[in-house]
């Protein structure tokens, strides 16, 4: 294939040689290859300042991340055949990991498919495309899904924030099969049903699967508070594992309705809900002298951008202090984060500081990670974003 050429500034290739796959607009030699010469989504050959080929990439001149590497081979672009091959390789891993077809099938850069996320819900497949290059391959993505798993329905849920950054329209469309309004999920032996309309991301978060499984070991006979519960992923699983009582907190009325629906779906009658802002709800529970054996904190990304670092870390600290205050004398705090800008070490430090702030002796029991259907690429720190800490909190002990 004959590609246009994108040149890097001197030294800008170091991060790529170390394993990263992104090119930022300020790394481009715009004298030799003006970004305005490229159309959004076009494939190009990438060269270092010394003219050495580095591979091929998708280009979007309108985005800060203006290039996403497709291949280290300058002669290979992203064809429908290569797309299908990489999707098949990704599928082989998930089928090896899980005995039921409920998982993240494609995790963007981690599967060599930058800008593409695919979640599988048995016979329904939900696709999210976030880059201009992958948008141009939308039809090839749908054909590959049909060929590889023969689903009843394929949904394009292209309404994420990243699309605006890439200059793409947002939409939700049925690409194949009958219209689907409810996604059915099975995770760790527990069933869920999630409305597609109004649902977050693809409708479900498979990334905390293993951490929710670990929660089940702590739950029997305990009273559990699930904060930022969404449709009850943590709380319902705790109840199914033998928790005596579960309270789910979320600001969305739709999510609260889904919690009750999923409790009934699993034959549970011990799940309560609180609709409202999480911080306000936690303060109100503390004022009411409520106590729980387990408190789960799984907020949305409180540090969405690097410039939000300080404010976000302060928010995590307030949240963890509130959670610790609501624990019984010998309670368990599950503190989770999906902020890629918050390291595991920093989360542990925030928990340490929160314990000292309110005079709690805390023991770090376990540290959790994202599930293996969200593989991490060592050269791309951004792919390593999920973390969780299981912490025992003791009062009057030390």
The residues that are catalytic are 338
- Residue 184 near residue 121 (C-beta atoms within 8 A): yes
- In whole angstroms, give the CA distance from residue 345 to residue 351: 10
**CA pseudo-torsion sign 91, 191, 250, 127:** positive
Q: Which residue has the tokens 């695919």?
A: 118
- In whole angstroms, give the CA distance from residue 34 to residue 5: 10
Phi, psi values for residue 163, rounded to 5°? -65, -35
Question: Which pair of tokens denotes residue 348?
Answer: 């542990």
The number of beta carbons lying within 10 Å of the beta carbon of residue 91 is 21
Phi, psi values for residue 158, rounded to 5°? -95, 65
- In whole angstroms, give the CA distance from residue 96 to residue 147: 19
- In whole angstroms, give the CA distance from residue 375 to residue 388: 16
Phi, psi values for residue 129, rounded to 5°? -115, 130
Cα dist. 380→21, 44, 46, 362 in Å? 7, 21, 18, 32
Q: Which of 69, 52, 100 is nearest to 377 (CA)?
A: 69
Q: 147 Cβ partners below 8 Å, 6+ apart?
A: 84
């Amino acid at each position: 294939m004959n590609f246009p050429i994108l040149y890097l500034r001197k030294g800008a290739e170091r991060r790529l040689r170390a394993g990263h796959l992104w090119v930022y607009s300020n790394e481009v030699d715009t004298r030799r290859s003006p970004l305005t010469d490229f159309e959004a989504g076009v494939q190009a050959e990438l060269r270092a300042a010394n003219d050495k080929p580095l591979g091929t990439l998708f280009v979007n001149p309108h985005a800060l991340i203006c290039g996403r590497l497709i291949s280290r081979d300058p002669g290979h672009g992203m064809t429908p055949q290569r797309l299908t091959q990489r999707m098949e390789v990704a599928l082989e891993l998930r089928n090896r990991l899980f005995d039921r077809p409920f998982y993240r099938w494609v995790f963007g850069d981690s599967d060599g498919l930058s800008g593409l996320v695919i979640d599988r819900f048995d016979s329904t497949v939900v696709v999210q495309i976030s880059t201009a290059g992958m948008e141009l391959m939308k039809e090839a993505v749908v054909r590959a899904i049909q060929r590889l798993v023969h689903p009843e329905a394929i949904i394009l849920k292209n309404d994420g924030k990243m699309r605006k950054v890439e200059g793409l329209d947002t939409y939700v469309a049925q690409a194949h099969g009958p219209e689907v309004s409810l996604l059915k999920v099975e995770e760790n032996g527990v069933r869920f049903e999630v409305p597609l309309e109004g649902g977050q991301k693809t409708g479900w978060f498979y990334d905390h699967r293993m951490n929710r499984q670990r929660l089940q070991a702590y739950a029997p006979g305990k009273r559990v508070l699930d904060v930022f519960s969404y449709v009850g992923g943590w709380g319902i699983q705790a109840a199914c594992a033998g928790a005596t009582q579960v309270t789910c907190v979320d600001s969305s009325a739709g999510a609260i309705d889904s919690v009750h629906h999923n409790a009934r779906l699993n034959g549970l009658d011990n799940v309560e809900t609180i609709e409202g802002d999480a911080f306000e709800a936690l303060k109100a529970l503390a004022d009411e002298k409520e106590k729980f054996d387990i408190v789960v904190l799984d907020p949305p990304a409180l540090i969405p951008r690097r410039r939000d670092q300080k404010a976000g870390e302060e928010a995590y600290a307030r949240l963890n202090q509130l959670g610790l205050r609501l624990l019984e004398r010998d309670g368990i705090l599950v503190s989770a984060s999906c902020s890629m800008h918050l390291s595991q070490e920093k989360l542990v430090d925030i928990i340490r500081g929160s314990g000292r702030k309110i005079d709690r002796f805390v023991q770090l029991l376990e540290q959790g990670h994202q599930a293996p259907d969200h593989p991490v690429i060592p050269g791309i720190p951004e792919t390593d974003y999920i973390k969780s800490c299981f912490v025992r909190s003791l009062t009057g002990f030390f």
